[in-house]
Structure 1
């Protein structure tokens, strides 16, 4: 019985090591200039932009700031899934490519999800404490979005 458990553990460890050889492309576009970027479309106050970049851009842009543990599989698979899903739902770098209607819809969704504490995800803020939005930051973002909606 002990030999069998030891054999399974060794095989599991070898599989884990082999998984580390697969390192998919990273979601990094630092060298690119995004003319359709959210901040190019709107005059975003610096404090709002900073909050959005800190709390949202890792999953909702083409510029993920990868932590050291992103090199470890299967953690990377999990992260890539979140990033791909997040970008599919909203990509700040592609915001200008959305129709006006979709832009307004996305802004409303941002506001609603921040109000209801759906975003940023708790699984993200568990490790990234700096991504937690304070009450003041939430109010600043929501108020700015409301101001945009009134002007349109």
Structure 2
């Protein structure tokens, strides 16, 4: 029994070390200032602070990769979440979205924060300060509603 336990521990340790050599790319694509949310949309300071604290790591091309994003298999999940977040909504490329997509994304921002789907619960495990208060949610939803009303009809 002890021998089996030791062999299992050694195999698991070797496997853990081995997977450290498979590192998915952590990419922060260049940010083109003219394509950002701030370039085309009025973002009040209070909204900018909320976005910075709770959204930008996964929804911009300026992700902060903390130390634990260096350790597999956790790194794989983090990179996957960031890539998926950027695919769904990338505030660094907001200006290239068409009007219909912008309206839809503004609606989704309010829906996702109101329902508690965003920020992602796994992100909140480590980033407690990213938790949105009811006031934060109201500020974001009021802002998204105002921005939607300013977009041209489609």
Structure 2 length-normalised TM: 0.90
Whether the 8 Å contact between 2:58 and 2:86 is mirrored in structure 1 is: yes
Structure 1 residues 2-151: aligned runs within 5 Å: 2-29=2-29, 32-151=31-150
- How far is 1:15 from its partner? 1.4
| In 2, Cα distance between equivalents of 1:127 and 1:138 | 20
- How far is 1:151 from its partner? 2.5
Structure 1 unaligned residues grouped into runs of 5+:
none
Q: Count how many residue pairs are aligned between Structure 1 and Structure 2.
A: 151
Q: Deviations over 1:93-124 (max 9, x none)?
A: 11111111001100011011111111111111
- How far is 1:46 from its partner? 1.3
What CA RMSD, in Å, does the superposition of the two structures yield over aligned residues? 1.5
Structure 2 unaligned residues grouped into runs of 5+:
none
Greater helix percent: which structure?
A: 2
| In 1, Cα distance between equivalents of 2:93 and 2:150 | 22
Structure 1 length-normalised TM: 0.91
Whether the 8 Å contact between 2:32 and 2:92 is mirrored in structure 1 is: no
| In 2, Cα distance between equivalents of 1:35 and 1:11 | 51
Whether the 8 Å contact between 2:31 and 2:61 is mirrored in structure 1 is: no
| In 1, Cα distance between equivalents of 2:137 and 2:106 | 13
Whether the 8 Å contact between 1:59 and 1:82 is mirrored in structure 2 is: yes
Q: Which moved more, 1:112-121 or 1:20-29?
A: 20-29
- How far is 1:35 from its partner? 2.0
Whether the 8 Å contact between 1:27 and 1:63 is mirrored in structure 2 is: no
Q: Deviations over 1:45-81 (max 9, x none)?
A: 1110111121111111111111111111100011111
